[in-house]
Amino acid sequence: MNVDLPHYLTGEKVHAGDRVRYKGTAGNIAFVSDGEGGEFSGGYEDYFGQEAGIMFRDDDGELTFLAEPGDDLELIRPTSSAEP
């Protein structure tokens, strides 16, 4: 399946596991979906097929759903850089 994932304002695709800052708060992308498929961090697979968007999980465990990325969502470290 070819999933059309959203992009950060800087042009990079949003991926599950990305380290980000949202409105000044650090966290990770829990899942990103186009409404039919997407990428999901462990424990978030149940969101498969849900509304298109991005789930941000801050370092305190609070979840925030974003319909699309905006200037408030800043990529700190892509998932590929976080993997050993």
pTM as predicted: 0.86
| Three-state SS at 36 | coil
Q: Is residue 6 part of a domain?
A: yes
Rounded to 5 degrees, φ, ψ at 48 are -55, 130
The tokens describing 2, both together, are 């070819």
Residues 14-56: tens digit of each pLDDT:
999 999 999 999 999 999 988 788 899 988 887 766 788 999 9
- Work out the pLDDT band at 3, boundaries 50, 70, 90: low
Q: Is residue 9 part of a domain?
A: yes
Distance, in Å, from the CA atom of 78 to the CA atom of 20, rounded to the nearest integer, reads 8
Domain total in the chain: 1
Distance, in Å, from the CA atom of 65 to the CA atom of 63, rounded to the nearest integer, reads 7
Q: Is residue 67 part of a domain?
A: yes
Domain that holds residue 19: 1-28+62-74
**Which residues on adjacent β-strands are paired with residue 21?**
26, 74
Q: Is residue 53 part of a domain?
A: no
User: In this predicted structure, what is the pLDDT of residue 82?
Assistant: 42
